[in-house]
């Protein structure tokens, strides 16, 4: 099976500290589940990346450079996870789509771990590019909530978990929910547009629940499944 696994930055950091327990658990799940086929793991930047961007803006640094700083944070996170995976992963973090394509053709039964690739491009968008490159069966997005809700579940405990929706329904939901830093972020519109082109199902899961993560990897179950 060919999959893309997107690890949200909220799983790497908890209260701006590296969540070593969660990272170790995710790495163990990946190692246990890996079947030797083409896998790409994409790691986000989380709150620490946003903190760097905020500081850079306050210092008067231009927006392109701010984006580049966030990209570097995701790459550090990716290298940390690839190091945890030891010989299961290629110990080189691709920084361009061309490098990703080269690595996928020479992976020889190893997982590719990557972060961001270029300024202004989300790690969801990178996940879409990776899915297209390896012809992934599904994209698994691991976050710190159970799946996609009608509202931010951290603010409204009565928010309803949506177990199965379409791309179109997800797009309609995005139009209703503010997609700003610090707000309930499901997926960015550019990332969704790119995923729609690949027609790849998306599995949303809580990355701290390793049993559900394993099931999503196997294509059995997820908190929310998004289909074309």
pLDDT at residue 170 is higher than 70: yes
Joined together, the tokens standing for residue 224 give 């929310």
The answer to which of 149-163, 167-181, 195-209 has the lowest mean pLDDT is 167-181
**What percent helix, strand, coil does the chain show, rounded to 5?**
45, 20, 35
Q: What is the pLDDT of residues 47-101, one digit of tens each?
A: 888 899 999 999 999 999 999 999 999 999 999 999 999 999 999 999 999 999 9
Query: For residues 83-108, b (16+ Cβ closer than 10 Å) or e, as one string?
Result: ebbeebbbeebbbebeebeebbeebe
The answer to which of 42-56, 119-133, 182-196, 211-225 has the lowest mean pLDDT is 182-196
Instruction: Read off the CATH number of the domain in which 14 is found.
Output: 3.40.1160.10
pLDDT at residue 177 is higher than 80: no
Q: What angle do CA 54, 55, 61 make, to 5 degrees?
A: 95
Q: What is the pLDDT of residues 1-11, one digit of tens each?
A: 999 999 999 89
- Which structural domain range is residue 209 located in? 3-227
The domain total for the chain is: 1
What pTM was computed for the model?
Answer: 0.93
């Amino acid at each position: 099976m060919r999959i893309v696994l997107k690890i949200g930055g909220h799983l790497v950091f908890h209260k701006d500290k590296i969540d070593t327990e969660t990272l170790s658990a995710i790495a163990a799940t990946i190692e246990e589940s890996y079947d030797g086929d083409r896998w790409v793991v994409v790691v986000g930047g989380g709150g620490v990346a946003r903190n760097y961007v905020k500081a850079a803006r306050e210092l008067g640094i231009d927006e392109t450079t701010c984006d580049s700083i966030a990209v570097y944070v995701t790459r550090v996170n990716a290298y940390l996870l690839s190091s945890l995976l030891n010989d299961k992963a290629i110990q080189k973090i691709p920084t361009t789509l061309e490098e990703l394509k080269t690595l996928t053709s020479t992976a020889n039964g190893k997982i590719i771990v990557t972060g961001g690739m270029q300024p202004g491009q989300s790690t969801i968008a990178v996940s879409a590019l990776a899915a297209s490159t390896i012809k992934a069966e599904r994209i698994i997005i691991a976050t710190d909530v159970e799946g996609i809700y009608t509202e931010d579940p951290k603010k409204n405990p009565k928010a309803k978990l949506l177990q199965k929706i379409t791309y179109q329904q997800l797009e309609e939901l995005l139009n209703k929910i503010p997609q700003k830093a610090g707000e309930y972020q499901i997926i960015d519109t550019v990332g969704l547009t790119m995923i729609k082109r690949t027609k790849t199902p998306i599995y949303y899961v809580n990355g701290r629940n390793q049993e559900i993560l394993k099931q999503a990897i196997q294509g059995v179950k997820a908190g929310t499944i998004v289909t074309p």
